[in-house]
Chains A and B, each alone.
Chain A
Amino acid sequence: MNLGVPTRKVRIAVQFSMFSLWAALVFLTKYPIDSWLTDILPVSLFLRIDPLVMTVVCGGMRMAVTITLLGLVTLGISLLLGRVFCGWVCPFGTLFDFVGWFLRRARVKFEGPSPSWFRLKYYLLAAIILFSLFGGVSPLMGLDPIVIITRVAATVIEPFGKSAHLWSVDDPMKYFGAFVDFSTLLLFMVIMAGTTRLSRIWCRTACPLGAYLGLTSRYSILRRDATGCVHCKICANHCPTGAINFQNEEIYNESECIKCFLCSSECPVDANKFVFTKPTPIAPSHHPVSLERRALLATTVATAVAAPLMRLEAGETNSSKRLLRPPMSRDERDFLASCIRCTECIKACPTGVLKTSGTENGLRAFWSPVLIPTEGYCKEGCNACSEACPTDAIMKYPIEKKYSYKIGTAMLESNRCISYTERKFCSECIKACPTNAIDYEVGWEPEGGFQANGADFPAPDGKTPTRPIYVDFEKCVGCGACEFECNKIVFGEPAMITTSYGRGAPTSL
């Protein structure tokens, strides 16, 4: 049966629509997540339809993380039709095609056969999957194309949007401490530079999702039929993923074909058709990718060694005490088994308190979101990070229950507090606390009391100012507001330190 090939314009229209939808959803991933589009669709829709996300999260967690099960739809489509997702839906692929359109107009030669190391993506996929078998999501999941492009939007582009006065000399840059995620920026630049040398080089060589869909499309029923080929090599030259054999164009690789139908539209003799046919036995002209057994074995061994080592690797000394996760995050083991490093939560956070972790919390936590109270604080009445999370690593919760469970607990280091060291009336931490968790002793107060600006008023001789005494464990939720305010005043380490102590424990609120 002849399928009848969609024109190039149809595919471009679909790609444009999908990319626009993705961009709109990413743009709307900000507090408050409240628009007609986000009422209909989840902001993390493209991550939720990613079957690799579903596999590693459900496999790693050993449970049905239901919001990821939409990946089954993409998986079903791939099983039937091949890598349609890559050619028609993937926003990263659309970006590559857009760049390719420019390069083609500039007459830059960037098409040709895949490099010999194009199987790398399969080994990366094997490593990611093996990690999930060991019960976790490795930072390698950060190489998933939807995750990368989302992370670029969240950690490279978004900070510029948050810093309104970036270019002003009068107003210092607010999020200077961890402005953009340079590792993501570097990775993105390398990928885009590579794309100018070879079309869709990421899809061909390193995309783990492409490898995943390549595996599942092995038995797809929509296949290319090049009967009548005159061997002009036009199709092979135009194939964006190098799926068509350059020596014999009748042979192509089903696992690499993204069903863009460019070969059909470019063929001068209409010899490239796509037909529905029986998937088995696989015809010689439909050879799937073959993997080197030794390389696969080496990948398995390396992962088997790395998985426990990464668990043992706990990062810098005392880093776990300062490792704060977003509110309602699963416990640390489950969090690392479900966080895919997409940084949607960071994109959604209105205060900029969420940042990506480097290696300071251990290699295993690389690219995962952490709460840095010196950069901001967890806003009262906001659950945007939870709504944005595509895997429930940050669990969904009703906003009125925000303070039911703790992020951590703040500790007072009185030897750094200016109300102790300099006997100044400050009390900024007491004013900032949304749950009145900081107990204080009443002493001297300037005119205006608590409304007075902090740190400007030393107490008269022989008197002590009103000052914090301790933090009530059952009331403190670990939002970091006290540390954020303290950090503005105290030179050096703030006196209020938010720790991960008590994470996940219920509060008395």
Chain B
Amino acid sequence: MNGDVHQITIEQNHMGTTFELTVSGPKSSLEKNETALLLAHEIISQLENELSEFKTESEVNRFNSIKAQIPIKLKETTSRLLSIALKLEKITSGAYSPFTKSPKNIFLEPDRGVDFLSNGEIVKSHSDIYLEFGAIGKGYALDIISEYFLRSGIRNFCLSGGGSSIVVSGKATQSTYWPLAWSWSKDQDGCPLGVEMQYENEEPIALGISGFHEKGQHIKLKRPNSILSALVAHPNAALADALSTAVISSGWTDEMESLSTITDTAPGVAVIEDDHVPRWNSVFQTLIKAPFLISASLIGLTISSILSRFSLADDGMIDLSSLGVDDFNPYLLERNAAWILLPVVIIVLIIVHTKRVKILRRDRNPEDPT
């Protein structure tokens, strides 16, 4: 609580995990926010009824139990999620897939086994093809809740699906942002170890985290790689959720190549490798860091407060390696050719200075250089 701001959190279990939904806002909106939170949990509950593979009446189960070559029309929510999942499958070159098979056929059948008919129905090419949205279900639910809140005029919220899929928007209080942390191991006492992060921008952002320190059962390994935990930041929670799984499966190099095909909004990616070496791309760095720089300059914080914050930022937010990880590699670089614009702008300014030569020569006294 801070001044006239309040926070309400309601936790409920869905999709085999705990959804913790928090809304922050003025006291006058207390009742409205509480109702919105309850409705949000209800929405997730309905989604679970459609997407769960363990509920006999769910859409997913209806698809999974149907025989090959029999057309089936899925409900719109499930159909929309399936189309998102198929796009992700393409982006990640198959590292993420919504389809699974039983172990007996794992070497016999191709991964994909559905055809889309022109009337919106789909058919399975083989009975042993199953839908499974474990990697993106929570993220998709959070996307829907996020959209619902924004439509309802609620801008300050923090949504957590089991702690591994998170959406934050706006601020926690009038003066503080939502606290975020990323953990990938535990100490001897079982306390989580990792880093705290700052996302100092009020636009909604989703963080998807996958790793072998967790259950890891939804991760289908294409080949072994050295990533212990992966974090993906993107405005779309389903995408962030799935990509974090894909990064774990494919490894840093392959997945970064795949991600370069996403042209609308590039995801921020950070990983912790098995030997606890951190890596991250420039988008992640920008998401977590740059907005603070810009906003701090613009709102005219006192210079002293900025200086003290920056002085501590050195080994704080960007240099993950100095925040308790076990290994260290200082030779990791993320270059971006756009930074060449800084000197280019100065060169342009210098050239601009040459444009007034004629005017000044006419006005100028030859003895006075000014």
Interface residues of A (CB under 8 A from B): 40-42, 45, 48, 54-56, 58-64, 66-67, 69-70, 72-73, 76, 113-116, 118-119, 122, 125-126, 129-130, 132-133, 212, 215-216, 218, 242-247, 251-253, 255-256, 284, 287-293, 296, 328, 330-331, 334, 395-398, 401, 404-405, 504
Contact = CB atoms under 8 A, between A and B. Distances in A.
B286 to A, nearest CB: 8
A401 B289 CA distance: 25
Contacts of B262: none
Nearest to A293: B354
Contacts of B108: none
Given A63-B335, A290-B357, A215 B350 contact: yes
Contacts of A246: 367-368, 370
A125 B369 contact: no
A216 B346 CA distance: 8
A256 to B, nearest CB: 7
Instruction: Name the prevailing secondary structure of the B interface residues.
Output: helix
B314 A63 contact: no
Contacts of A328: 330
A130 B290 CA distance: 26
Given A40-B311, A73-B297, A296-B354, A125 B346 contact: yes
Given A63-B333, A63-B335, A132-B343, 7 more contacts: A41-B308, A122-B350, A245-B368, A396-B322, A396-B330, A397-B328, A404-B329
Nearest 8 Cβ contacts at the A-B interface = A59-B343, A395-B330, A401-B328, A215-B349, A290-B360, A253-B370, A129-B343, A59-B342
A62 B339 contact: yes
11 contacts: A41-B311, A60-B343, A64-B339, A70-B306, A73-B306, A76-B297, A113-B368, A129-B343, A246-B367, A292-B354, A334-B333
B340 A62 contact: yes
Contacts of A284: 363
Given A66-B289, A215-B350, A48 B310 contact: yes
B335 A288 contact: no
Given A62-B335, A328-B330, A401-B328, A243 B370 contact: yes
Contacts of B339: 58-59, 61-64
A330 B331 CA distance: 7
Contacts of B350: 122, 125-126, 129, 215, 291, 296
Contacts of A69: 293
A331 B297 contact: no
B353 interface: yes
A113 B369 contact: yes
A48 B363 CA distance: 39
A218 B310 CA distance: 28
Given A40-B308, A73-B297, A396-B314, A55 B343 contact: yes
B308 A58 contact: no
Nearest to A253: B370
Nearest to A42: B311
A404 B290 CA distance: 30
A290 B368 contact: no
Nearest to B337: A62
B346 A212 contact: yes
Contacts of A212: 346
A256 B370 CA distance: 9
B304 to A, nearest CB: 9
A205 to B, nearest CB: 10
Given A247-B365, A291-B357, A64 B282 contact: yes
Most buried by A among B282, B353, B360, B365: B353
Contacts of B369: 113-116, 118-119, 242
